[in-house]
Structures are given as structure tokens and as C-alpha cells.
Structure 1
């Protein structure tokens, strides 16, 4: 699910829609280590913006975990969700908002179908 569908609420928690998009990608792939390029491409966030505005904040608040060497021996850093209580709460919030959106979409679809008929 695209984060921009519920980012107004979650972006208030995270401070920006880009961080909301990053969290959505990380939450949907919690065990996958991603390079900055992979993470930014999937989230639709510029790499320069990630490095300038988001990376240090997400690392500082223990939302993002960093690994400097990958399992295949590459020396570039990779990132994934940290294993912290605040991450658990953010993922739970992400899931609740996603569920609410899915339920709202079906309600809106039913209302639209009824209106059209």
C-alpha cells in the first residue's frame, strides 16, 4: 500500500511525508536489508534528501538500523527497521492506518456504487 494514502496522519508523527513513505517500505519489508538506493527508489524519496534530512534522524531515534557490511561482503551500508519498542509502535500505527484505509476504500466504493445506481 502506498504510504501517501495515509501519510497526513502518520507524517505528523514522523515529521514528514517522506519519512512516512520510508517507514511504509521498511514496515512492509521488516527483515530485508536495503541499500539507501533501494530504499529511496521503493519509497520515492530522493537519495540526497534521505542522506540530508532523514537518515540521521531515523538512526538517532532508533527507528532505522544500519549495517556497514552486507552478508555478501559489500562494504556499503544497508538499512532496515530497528528492533525497538518505538518501531513496534510505529509499525502498529502503520498497520492500523492501513486497515482503516482499506475499510474506508470499501465503504467509499459501496457508497459510490449506490450513488451511481
Structure 2
């Protein structure tokens, strides 16, 4: 979802008109309209003000693919867990083989 779609959705969820949002941000109603139509982009001060007003992060407002990034993070977490398990199993197998080898050498000596 793009910034303009997020602004429109958040404004409507809060039950605000473009005029009411404009007044809270101290901008014109036309500015809000242009942001929602993707004809212009709000400056950084207005992005921060909207993040506080709507109780969302600036990352949420600015990043188009937040959901995709979260899926990538989950995939990385799974890869880390699986690779850690493989390394652990390899260490257990190596210890078991080493222990078996040491015991078999002791048996041959006597």
C-alpha cells in the first residue's frame, strides 16, 4: 500500500474529513487532497505529525512493502533456527563418533 492510500485509510478510520485533518496539521485542505490523490508528498514534519496523530510509525507511512519485509524477516528467522539445529546435530554426531572411537581403541589395548 502506498502513502496516499494509507493516509486516506487512516483518515477515514478516524472519521476525519480532509478539512479536519488539514486543521490538525496546520495545512490547507487542498494539500491533504493532493497527498491522498498522490499528486504531492507531505514534508517530513507533516509525516511525523501524522504518525503521532494516527499512532503509527513513520516507517509504516513511508514504506510501501512493510508486509513483504516482515515475511522476509520471518524467513530469515526460520533459516537461522534450522541452520543452528543442523550445526548442533553435527556436533552431537561428531562427539558420539569420537567417543565410540576412543572406546574401541581402549578395547583393543587390553
Please, what TM-score do these two structures have when normalized by structure 1? 0.30
More helix by share: 2
Please, what TM-score do these two structures have when normalized by structure 2? 0.31
Larger radius of gyration: 2
